[in-house]
Amino acid sequence: MTIVWLLAFLITFGVLAYHQASLSVWALGLGLFLLLFSALGHTAMPVWGASWLLFLVLFFPLLYTPWRRRYLAKPILAFYQNSMPVMSRTEREALNAGTVSWEGDLFSGRPDWNKLLALPLPQLSQEEKDYLDGTVETLCSMIDDWELTHQRGDLSPVIWDFLKKEGFFGLLIPKEYGGKGFSNYACSQVQIKVQACSVSAGTTVSVPNSLGPAELLLHYGTPEQKSYYLPRLACGEEVPCFALTSPNAGSDATAMTDWGVVCKAMHEGQTVLGIRLNWNKRYITLAPVATVIGLAFKLFDPDHLLGDKEDIGITCALIPRHTPGVQVGRRHMPLSARFQNGPTQGKDVFIPLDWIIGGPAMAGHGWRMLMECLAGGRAVSLPAVTTGGAKAAVFASGAYGRIRKQFKQAIVRFEGVSETLARMAGNLYTMDSARLFTLGSLDRGEKPAVASAIIKYHITERARSIGNDAMDIHGGKGIILGPKNYLGRSYEAIPIAITVEGANILTRNMIIFGQGAIRCHPYVFAEYEAARLKDEKKALVAFDKAIFAHLGFTLSNLVRTFFLGLTSGRLVPAPNSRLKAYFQQATRFCSAFALLSDLSMMVYGGGLKRKESVSARLGDILSQLYLLSSILNRYHQDGSPAEDLPLVHWTAKTCLYEIQQRFEELLHNFPWKSLAFVLRLLIFPFGKHFAKPPVRLGSQITSLFIAPTETRKRLTSGLFTAPCDLNPYYQLEVALLKTIQAEPIEKIIRKAAYEGEVKGYHFQEQAQMAFDKGIITLEQYDIFKQADEARQAIIAVDDFSPEELVRA
């Protein structure tokens, strides 16, 4: 009976903890258990008497709010306030920027998968489709990337005029200001199509539609600033740039030494209150050709002309190029790309106060403005341009792998090449799913700060992997630059995306979990805000509510992690589909992640901020859960096509394996070894059984990308494949179709050669002899010749005279 009652108690405790019951429900549940125990139990009175005493001693203080706050919450609050890390104003503004979307559900430990599947992917309007199919394709047909990068070093005047005339610089500017008023998704699709044709052209289009003057004006500009600048930006009359990075302030942008002092000076014949500026910026895209410069600088008011504060803070202003003291025009050369990028300096530049974006009232609010815009903007341009390059690489590598032959067979028939192509396709499916999922959030009005950091890092890193794999498949074809090389320039430019808008090392090690733990956790941000309140009474009330809910949350995840580990998540309610197991495993790992996050914050305290190897791996787990969610959502929104299942299985298995590995790395390096041992038993009670996707799954994926299948069409949609002399993707598709048509004929010729019916020094001679002997028909011979000519054109590379290699 003792064992029975003990089991009953553990079940009651587990159910209450699993469902994160409130204190009152805990008291009610355990009280009812004790009543039954007292009435039906076969134990001595001292046992159940002691049980009731323990129950009352434990729950009465917890349920009596004044006592709990005074003797429990108050000391914990004091300890918390003394131990929490010092946070600068700029750090607080970065944390407050943006909104929390699905990543908050993941941090809860119990995501609602039906809610996930109900989130629609973004769609294009008819106007947006027409623009993509018409205007954007016209632009793509005009681009000669070799001429642009090697000979001209810039877009041609014709292309510059076309970009301005057709509204490429105002895709997101509302129609009321003369812009296109497109969705974030449409803007992303435009950038994908252009980027796949030319990194230089794609970057030129992306920057005015990303973080910069237009977006800052839309959110914070005064009515006068909007009315003046937005129509000019939309039509290309004004070309914008935004200057943030300084020689001594890269990832740590707040360390900028660019400064302005409030003073009075002459402007247009009048003495006005303004700012005397000095700056030295670099890496500024479009700066050499910009007509208006968005500038971030530190503003000081030593004479207190604006108020009591001397150090006002980071401020953003718009400065016309012709303003005296402004220096622009010189160019950087970002690897082999030729988009306009360069430094800008300003010496004793005087501007009126109303040139501050948002007017004088927004002085000192520049960092908040930048962080809020970056929270959303980072999810559009960089994911678009890198996904565009990845789509092109997968499209080209699949075709090239079947067109190119070595050892008398297509190179994709070799397992090493097949495995590489499958990895490329799997990475692209993950990238595109995450891009679409996050764009959906943006177009619903969210500004997902943490999600944008996740996809910035993981999409650009996967693009790097795809670029390397594409070069491996293409071999010498990918190395030799020239008009025939459709990979080289994109491959060379990959580090640009890795570096900008938060270098990837910084993003992984500090931003994803550093911001995610505070913004996405159900209670940490509430605790932090409560601890900062100056009113002690309000602080105690708010902290008491948050900290005890947090303790219940941690206890719940402790029980859930153990239970879900024992059952391998099989009892978790999940959408009834062929992918049910992935939803269940994701729920299991969400609970374990929430638990380990809480324990890491407890063990490391404020020092977790400096334990980048820990926060990086916690961020990896959150990221993989987000990527897995986007994959499951995309498959559902695509209509659950059966032919895409190999891709879904490959990517989902990869995510689960990576999550498992990051957990193991964290536990292996956990400072409290005894706690790490217990956690390993809780999370992996039967050991680690997730593995990388099997080779057979990769082979299934490969078969989908070496032929014109619906899966290939879906995943590489958005590329410019229209008939055009300068379009390598059209030429690859034509050659692929001819190759597929010729393959049965080539088998006939090889069989005849093996049996000695035809001879020749090379395959073309054998084909001619097969035709002469009637082994193949004239129609078959023509098909073979067309395929061979198309193959030779695709595998050809360029050569130059020494004079041709010298740029004009």
- Separation in Å, CA 166 to CA 124, 169, 231, 235, 237: 19, 8, 13, 8, 12
- The residue-averaged pLDDT of 704-729 equals 95
In 3D, which of 470, 435, 465 has the Cα closest to residue 718? 435
Kindly tell me the sign of the dihedral angle through the C-alpha atoms of 351, 357, 361, 363. Answer: negative
For 511-522, write each residue's pLDDT tens digit. 899 888 888 889
Rounded distance between C-alpha atoms, residue 726 and residue 197, angstroms = 9
3-class DSSP string for 149-212: HHHHCCCCHHHHHHHHHCCHHHCCCCHHHCCCCCCHHHHHHHHHHHHHHCHHHHHHHHHHHCCC
**Length of the chain as a residue count:** 808
Question: How sure is the predictor about 43, in pLDDT bands with cuts at 50, 70 and 90?
Answer: low
Q: Is 43 helix (H, G, I), strand (E, B) or coil?
A: coil
Rounded distance between C-alpha atoms, residue 675 and residue 804, angstroms = 67
Rounded distance between C-alpha atoms, residue 239 and residue 385, angstroms = 20
At 11, which helix (H) or strand (E)? helix 2-18
Kindly tell me the sign of the dihedral angle through the C-alpha atoms of 536, 540, 541, 543. Answer: positive
Q: Which stretch of 319-323, 420-424, 524-528, 582-586 has the lowest confidence by average pLDDT? A: 524-528
- The residue-averaged pLDDT of 773-797 equals 95
- Separation in Å, CA 245 to CA 197, 282, 379: 28, 6, 20
Question: How sure is the predictor about 68, in pLDDT bands with cuts at 50, 70 and 90?
Answer: confident
457-460 LR contacts (CB < 8 Å, sep 24+): 457/504, 457/507, 457/508, 457/512, 457/623, 458/430, 458/431, 458/434, 458/623, 458/627, 459/382, 459/383, 459/386, 459/387, 459/431, 459/434, 459/435, 460/382, 460/383, 460/386, 460/494, 460/497, 460/498, 460/504
The amino acid that residue 499 corresponds to is T
- Cross-strand pairs, 259: 278, 298
> CB 419: neighbour CB atoms within 10 A?
17
Rounded distance between C-alpha atoms, residue 628 and residue 590, angstroms = 12
β-strands 259-267, 292-300: how paired?
Answer: parallel
The overall average pLDDT reported for the chain is: 91
Backbone angles phi, psi at 276, to 5 degrees: -95, 115
- Separation in Å, CA 538 to CA 66, 396, 694: 13, 62, 56
Q: Residue 537 — left, alpha, or beta (φ > 0 → left; ψ -120 to 50 → alpha)?
A: alpha
Question: How sure is the predictor about 792, in pLDDT bands with cuts at 50, 70 and 90?
Answer: very high
β-strands 270-285, 259-267: how paired?
Answer: antiparallel
Backbone angles phi, psi at 98, to 5 degrees: 75, -170
Residue 44 reports pLDDT greater than 60 = no
The pLDDT > 90 percentage for the chain reads 74
In 3D, which of 451, 395, 421, 393 has the Cα closest to residue 630? 451
User: How far is C-alpha 528 from the chain's CA centre?
Assistant: 27
Question: Helix H segments across 500-611?
Answer: 504-506, 512-519, 524-532, 536-567, 580-604
Q: What is the pLDDT of residue 211?
A: 76
For 290-299, write each residue's pLDDT tens digit. 999 999 999 9
For 115-170, write each residue's pLDDT tens digit. 999 999 999 999 999 999 999 999 999 999 999 999 999 999 999 999 999 999 99
Question: How sure is the predictor about 71, in pLDDT bands with cuts at 50, 70 and 90?
Answer: confident
Q: What is the pLDDT of residue 808?
A: 54
Q: What is the pLDDT of residue 409?
A: 94
Q: What is the pLDDT of residue 249?
A: 85
Q: Which residue has the tokens 């590329």?
A: 719
546 contacts 76 by C-beta, under 8 angstroms? no
Q: What is the pLDDT of residue 42?
A: 55
Q: Is 312 helix (H, G, I), strand (E, B) or coil?
A: strand
Tokens of 766: 């054998």
- Cross-strand pairs, 262: 275
Q: What is the pLDDT of residue 21?
A: 83
Question: How sure is the predictor about 25, in pLDDT bands with cuts at 50, 70 and 90?
Answer: confident
63 contacts 27 by C-beta, under 8 angstroms? yes
Residue 45 reports pLDDT greater than 60 = no
Q: Which residue has the tokens 């303790």?
A: 551
Note if 536 is an active site residue.
Answer: no
> CB 458: neighbour CB atoms within 10 A?
24
Rounded distance between C-alpha atoms, residue 177 and residue 180, angstroms = 9
For 466-491, write each residue's pLDDT tens digit. 999 999 999 999 999 999 999 999 99
Rounded distance between C-alpha atoms, residue 467 and residue 621, angstroms = 24
Rounded distance between C-alpha atoms, residue 321 and residue 328, angstroms = 8
Cα 166–Cα 167–Cα 172 angle in degrees, nearest 5: 150
The residues, any chain, with a CB within 8 Å of residue 167's CB and separated by 6 or more, are 179, 180, 234, 235, 236
The residues, any chain, with a CB within 8 Å of residue 151's CB and separated by 6 or more, are 807, 808
Rounded distance between C-alpha atoms, residue 18 and residue 15, angstroms = 5
Q: What is the pLDDT of residue 54?
A: 75
Catalytic residue, chosen from 215, 501, 527, 746, is: 501
In 3D, which of 386, 381, 444, 441 has the Cα closest to residue 187? 381
Backbone angles phi, psi at 381, to 5 degrees: -70, -55
In 3D, which of 429, 395, 467 has the Cα closest to residue 698? 429
